[in-house]
Chain A
Amino acid sequence: MGICSPTQQASENITHKGMKRVCEEHIKSFYIAKEPPAGIPLKDVAQAFRDLQQKRETADYDSSYPWTKLNAESWLDKTSVAFDNWRKVRTEIETQDFLLYLFMPSLQKGSGRFDGKRVASTSQTRNSRLNHGPDGSFAGQPPLNGERQPKAQCRHVMFPSRDHRDRFAGSWQFPDIWRSESELLRRPRSHLCDRTRRKTRHSQSASPRF
């Protein structure tokens, strides 16, 4: 089994269909977040991209579709509006996040866009477990009065976590996803059960040493 480089892995995700899926996810989360007004221009761009891709396929491959000038013009106008909307919000954090997800769709999972509806990623959930005080207080926030956080707020994803995404959001280097895995492999093996540890020791002693 070959190991591909991070750049290869990232680039393998880039497809027109993958970008369309990211747009669909963005539109979905916009409506889940109760249509925040600040998110409308970006949602319109995502919607335009999704619809235009569909129309592009119709235009290129469906010879039975009856195109009229009016119909085609409406799609061109929609594209023009999408250009304007994009330029209105291109420097916003949400827009830059959206752009990142378009080319690295795996980062979109568990990202929790739209401030009002953030979803904790795995690392946030893990950190919240580590940092909770005995009274339930968390990192300077008021105690939870014995109430546990509802499970619905935590979406479990393996990785990349939000922290991982944030690390790369500003610099736009391709994420070194494989490093996370190699870090996991380098962890001390105290978490392994006795049987596994015995097996490991056996396989180490059986292998020739150079």
Chain B
Amino acid sequence: MSFSDQLLEQAYHLLNKDGDEPNEASLRRAVSTAYYSLFHLLIDEAVGNWGFAHQRSRLARTLPIRG
């Protein structure tokens, strides 16, 4: 399972972990994690296009994304 899929799964876990009455912090973290899952999906796809497979993880880590 890719990192982006793991993040999306974690977002659903945060959403459902307290049943029908989740606390606000979990809801907020769930939405934030959902955004980062999509963000990392795009990062992974972009880095996957890099020609040298052994450099991809390093490239993904070092992309200096700012706010």
Residue of B nearest to A95 (CB): B45
Interface on A for B, CB 8 Å cutoff? 11-12, 14-17, 19, 45, 48-49, 52-53, 55-56, 58-60, 67-69, 71-73, 75-76, 79-80, 82-83, 86, 90, 96, 99-100, 102-103, 171-173
Interface on B for A, CB 8 Å cutoff? 4-5, 8, 11-12, 15, 20-22, 24, 27-32, 34-39, 41-42, 45-46, 49-51, 63-67
Across the interface, which residues of A come within 8 angstroms of B30, CB to CB?
Answer: 72, 76
Across the interface, which residues of B come within 8 angstroms of A99, CB to CB?
Answer: 42, 45-46, 49
- A15-B65, A67-B28, A72-B27 known; A96+B42 contact, CB < 8 A: no
Nearest-Cβ distance from residue A6 to partner chain B, whole angstroms:
14
Listed by A's residue number, 15 A-B pairs whose Cβ atoms lie within 8 Å are A12-B64, A16-B39, A16-B65, A45-B38, A49-B42, A56-B34, A60-B28, A67-B24, A69-B22, A72-B22, A79-B34, A79-B38, A83-B37, A86-B42, A172-B51
Interface centre among B21, B42, B63 (most CB of A within 10 A): B42
- A49-B42, A69-B15, A80-B8 known; A14+B31 contact, CB < 8 A: no
Judge whether A83 and B41 touch: CB under 8 Å. yes
Main secondary structure of the interface of B (DSSP, over half): helix
Main secondary structure of the interface of A (DSSP, over half): helix
Residue of B nearest to A10 (CB): B63
Judge whether B38 and A69 touch: CB under 8 Å. no
Judge whether B50 and A15 touch: CB under 8 Å. no
Across the interface, which residues of A come within 8 angstroms of B41, CB to CB?
Answer: 83, 86
Across the interface, which residues of A come within 8 angstroms of B42, CB to CB?
Answer: 19, 49, 86, 99, 102
- A11-B63, A15-B66, A69-B20 known; A82+B38 contact, CB < 8 A: yes
Across the interface, which residues of A come within 8 angstroms of B28, CB to CB?
Answer: 59-60, 67
Across the interface, which residues of B come within 8 angstroms of A103, CB to CB?
Answer: 46, 63
Across the interface, which residues of B come within 8 angstroms of A55, CB to CB?
Answer: 31, 35
Q: Measured between alpha carbons, how far is A83 from B34 in the docked complex, in Å?
A: 11
